[in-house]
Amino acid sequence: MLIGNLGKDPETRHFEGGGMLVKFPLATSETYTNRAGERVTTTEWHNVVITRKGLADVCDKYLKKGFKIFLEGKIKTRSWTDDSGNTRYATEINGENMTILTSREEAQAMQGRQSSNDQGYTPPQDNSSKPAQSQVNEGFHLDEEDDDLPF
> What is the CATH classification number for the domain harbouring 57?
2.40.50.140
Quickly state the pLDDT bin for 116 (edges 50, 70, 90). low
- pLDDT of 4 over the 80 cut: yes
Range of the structural domain that residue 8 is part of: 2-125
The number of distinct structural domains making up the chain is 1
pLDDT of residue 112: 76
β 39-50/87-100 pair status: parallel
Is residue 143 one of the residues assigned to a domain?
A: no
CA 48 to chain centre: 10
pTM of the predicted model, to two decimals?
0.68
d(CA 102, CA 50): 19
Q: Does the pLDDT of residue 135 top 70, yes or no?
A: no
- Residue 147 forms part of a structural domain: no
- What is the distance between the alpha carbons of residues 120 and 35, in angstroms, rounded to a whole number? 42
| pLDDT number for residue 114 | 66
Residues 82-93: tens digit of each pLDDT? 999 999 999 999
At 111, the pLDDT band (50, 70, 90 cuts) reads: confident
Cβ proximity of 78 and 92 under 8 Å: yes
Does 35 fall in a domain?
yes
